[in-house]
């Protein structure tokens, strides 16, 4: 529980200087929950359909929000068919 709380608190602190849409926020929180439930693996393998269900969004919205979170440096992502979220981080200024 400690790790997810730290990530969420840092995310909220980052929101003071970086704008996140509500969809980006929901996606980030869904990823934190899925990583926690999976025991904090180094890479979270998660199909788009499962993440869409978890976040309550459609796939095109997921893709846009995911790219925004990558651009903002909050998540890492590698994938084509197999989706792998490689890290949940926040910029080093908040560490």
What mean pLDDT is reported for the chain? 82
Predicted structure pTM score: 0.82
pLDDT tens digits, 50-67: 889 999 999 999 999 999
Q: What is the DSSP string of the chain?
A: -HHHHHHHHHHHHHTTTS---HHHHHHHHHHHHHHHHTT--SSEE--HHHHHHHHT--HHHHHHHHHHHHHTTSEEEEESSSEEEEEE---GGG-
**Does 24 have pLDDT greater than 60?**
yes
Residues of the chain above pLDDT 90, percent: 35
pLDDT of residue 80: 58
Residue that wins the pLDDT comparison between 61 and 38 = 61
């Amino acid at each position: 529980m400690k790790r997810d709380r730290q990530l969420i608190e840092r995310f909220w602190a980052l929101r003071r200087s970086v704008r996140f849409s509500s969809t980006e926020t929901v996606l980030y929180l869904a990823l934190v929950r899925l990583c926690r439930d999976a025991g904090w693996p180094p890479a979270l393998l998660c199909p788009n359909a499962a993440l869409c269900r978890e976040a309550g969004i459609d796939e095109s919205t997921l893709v846009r929000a995911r790219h925004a979170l990558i651009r903002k440096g909050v998540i890492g992502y590698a994938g084509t068919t197999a989706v792998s979220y490689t890290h949940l981080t926040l910029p080093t200024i908040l560490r």
